[in-house]
Amino acid sequence: MSGFSYPILPSGHLLAIEGLEPPHISALLDLAESYALLNRQGKTQRDLLKGRTLINLFFEDSTRTRTSFELAGKRLGADIVNMSVSTSSVNKGETLLDTAATLNAMHTDLLVIRHAQSGAPALLAQKVDAAVINAGDGTHEHPTQALLDALTIRRRKGRLENLVVAICGDVLHSRVARSNIHLLLAMGARVRVVGPPTLMPSECARLGVEVHHDMRAGLDGADVVMMLRLQRERMNSGLVPSPREFFRFYGLDAAKLSHAKPDAIVMHPGPMNRGVEIDSAVADDAARSVIGEQVEMGVAVRMAVLDVLARALRRNA
């Protein structure tokens, strides 16, 4: 770790990958990598966030992301409160700002928020004193997911630069895709998005990605194949005619994967729809799938983010 410099997040929050500079991203990944090592050795740092309050504020259900933040916070010694706010009672955003006022009164230090509306964490960040971490907002961004994906890729491939990464499926509704696109492009990877035109965001190519509608061409020579979750409600809204048609043309199976590089890795942010966007045989292929490692890196990345933001709080106090 020669030349290690402590990472910073200039805004004091982690709201989005877009806007972060490559040195910030690299430094965060380096720190997360060291946490990954410590985690494997069973070593904890229970004094780092001692006396700090972390609130997991989840307006959407997500067991795995919430658990990952919870574990990350506990390993650093934070006091953690989980607040799950059922979506039915929070269709009006007043509740969001009412909640913000309540959290402020409780002197929360770190606030992890997931919300179904794009921009909700940014709105909250304007109203609270805590450092805000976006754990997924609508179809906007999911920055810690992109960081853990990048860390997983870097560990497997040794680098991010010049890798060919194919992001496949429902790009339109995917905050994971947006954060990954911003991060991977910033770090010099080549990014392709692959999916039916009805699931592609408008003017997607202007983000700097190559757009493909054919899996074989999209996966051709790829180092990394990143699958996205296709939510059931997309079927109902008529964007895709049926699950079987989607699986036939855009589901990842061994035949389609054969167009990628022989050592290409397969990723998925979870939870998977087996038989819709990914075939079980591929998802469970230990030689290709790094889905388990993604989950492991998730904890390390979130420890790094909490650590960095808590240090900034200390500086500003």
Q: For binding to other proteins (CB under 8 A), which residues are involved?
A: 18, 92-94, 96-97, 115, 117-120, 122-123, 137-141, 175, 178, 201-204, 206-207
Instruction: Residue 270: name the closest of 157, 152, 117, 160 by CA.
Output: 152
From the CB of 313, what's the least distance to other proteins, in Å? 22
From the CB of 173, what's the least distance to other proteins, in Å? 9
Determine contact, residues 138/118, Cβ cutoff 8 Å.
yes
Q: What are phi and psi of 11, to 5 degrees?
A: -80, -15
- Rounded to an integer, what distance in angstroms lies between the CA atom of residue 274 and that of residue 270? 10
Region at 190 (left for phi over 0; alpha for psi -120 to 50; beta for the rest): beta
Closer residue to other proteins in complex, CB, 81/97: 97
From the CB of 122, what's the least distance to other proteins, in Å? 5
From the CB of 128, what's the least distance to other proteins, in Å? 14
- Rounded to an integer, what distance in angstroms lies between the CA atom of residue 285 and that of residue 138? 31
DSSP helix/strand/coil, 34: helix
Closer residue to other proteins in complex, CB, 73/143: 143
Closer residue to other proteins in complex, CB, 120/276: 120
Give the pairing type, strands 110-115 and 53-58: parallel
Give the pairing type, strands 164-168 and 190-194: parallel
From the CB of 178, what's the least distance to other proteins, in Å? 6
Closer residue to other proteins in complex, CB, 123/299: 123
Residue 249: both structure tokens together? 């043309």
Determine contact, residues 193/177, Cβ cutoff 8 Å.
yes
- Rounded to an integer, what distance in angstroms lies between the CA atom of residue 219 and that of residue 208? 17
- Rounded to an integer, what distance in angstroms lies between the CA atom of residue 288 and that of residue 33? 21
From the CB of 118, what's the least distance to other proteins, in Å? 4
Closer residue to other proteins in complex, CB, 11/34: 11
From the CB of 156, what's the least distance to other proteins, in Å? 28
What Rg value do the Cα atoms of the chain yield, rounded?
19
Closer residue to other proteins in complex, CB, 174/289: 174
Closer residue to other proteins in complex, CB, 195/251: 195
